[in-house]
Amino acid sequence: MNPNSEFSAELALPPLSVYVHLPWCVRKCPYCDFNSHEARGDIPDDRYVAALLADLENDLPRVWGRPVHSVFFGGGTPSLFSAAAIGRIIDGLRSRLNLVPGAEITLEANPGTVEHDCFEAYRDAGINRVSLGAQSFDDEALRRIGRIHGASEIDRAVESLHRAGLANFNLDLMFGLPGQTVAAAVEDVDRALAHDPAHVSHYQLTLEPNTAFHARPPRLPGESACWAMQEQAADRLQAAGFGQYEISAWARSGAECRHNLNYWRYGDYLGIGAGAHGKVTLPAEGVVMRGSKQRHPRAYLEALDTGRWLAETRAVPAAERVFEFFLNQLRLRDGVRATDFGPRTGLPWSAAEEAVEAAIGKGLLEWSGQRLIPTGTGWRFVNETQALFLPGDPA
């Protein structure tokens, strides 16, 4: 189907999520470009929890009454915060927001920071999904990428998850690690699957600017080896009953990450915490707002006294809204929901038409009902498809 002007171009409220950023780590990994900071001494957890709730209060007028479908504690290493501190944050969210029953509440955890009984306490605090940063089961590979844990800590953490009844957990795995062979990368997937996760994130190590690895690049496997790792991992995951719903994300049916899906489908999210980004649609004003909070934990904590939580806020211009709408949906196996375009961008379909036609013309996208899905080629070359939607580069 080729849609047209019958699609609404009126902004409407998309689902709302909340992202909570906890910025400290035991040690900075050499490949990491996240807003994470080595914890020197004790984390000021009481003050930080107070800051998060004050930050949230400041954001509330923009989202009054809206149901919240998911909460994600990311970092940094959120599992450096005690279950009691996480519980205080969740209670604070519940008392200020309309958190729907059964909302997905995810905690990112580092296998090197969780004690044996911890997951039961996090579960009791309200966590119902855990994303465990395993990365690899090869101790030497973990050492080379600067992780603070070994394979035995992952095994213990997963046992603890199962004991706590937290079956809805993700294992993060990286491939293309320094010195890694294809067989070793596949072995990582097999060991992950042996732990019976509900979800596996499988992504390639990349050298990002402003990281230690970027300054002193390690020797990484070549392109064809990485492609073989990806293909063989896909075979293993498929055979184990996992579906690839996003380029790097695999899940058992029904265990797809609701929080990430909302983000990828251009939903709204409040971002609270140091450097957290947010996106909020304001239909009455006809704008989509983006903002980010004070980035450094010190500056963020100072906002408790100054009230200056925001580092930046702006209305997203029309051409960027087109790009943003397509950017992440093009990474989804079930593609782009064309009927969402108008309500989520406030723009007529004609604003996207030229780029869409170019992508179809190049054999990268095709229509399936009211969705645009990547073809086999489009799935392999997502970056090329995304580039067609860049502002000012329609074809």
Residues that bind ligand SF4 (CB under 6 A): 25, 28-29, 32, 34, 36, 75-77, 110, 133
Coil, strand or helix at 25? strand
Closer CB to ligand SF4, 29 or 330, in the complex: 29
Cα–Cα distances in angstroms (integers) from residue 322 to residues 114, 148, 347, 351, 382, in the given order:
41, 41, 8, 7, 16
The answer to whether the beta carbons of residues 10 and 344 sit under 8 Å apart is no
Closer CB to ligand SF4, 137 or 341, in the complex: 137
The nearest distance, CB 205 to ligand SF4, in angstroms, is 11
Count of Cβ atoms closer than 10 Å to residue 111 Cβ: 25
Give dist(CA 145, CA 23) in Å, integer: 20
The nearest distance, CB 30 to ligand SF4, in angstroms, is 9
The nearest distance, CB 275 to ligand SF4, in angstroms, is 12
Kindly provide the b/e burial profile for residues 141-175, where b requires at least 16 CB atoms within 10 angstroms of the residue's own CB: bbebbebbbbbebbbebbebbeebebebbbbbbbb
Closer CB to ligand SF4, 69 or 259, in the complex: 259
Closer CB to ligand SF4, 218 or 348, in the complex: 218
Closer CB to ligand SF4, 27 or 94, in the complex: 27
The nearest distance, CB 172 to ligand SF4, in angstroms, is 9
Question: CA angle 254-257-258, nearest 5°?
Answer: 90
The distance in angstroms from the start CA to the end CA of the chain is 21
The nearest distance, CB 76 to ligand SF4, in angstroms, is 5
The nearest distance, CB 39 to ligand SF4, in angstroms, is 10
Closer CB to ligand SF4, 199 or 321, in the complex: 199
Cβ contacts of residue 310 below 8 Å, gap of 6+? Answer: 291, 292, 293, 294
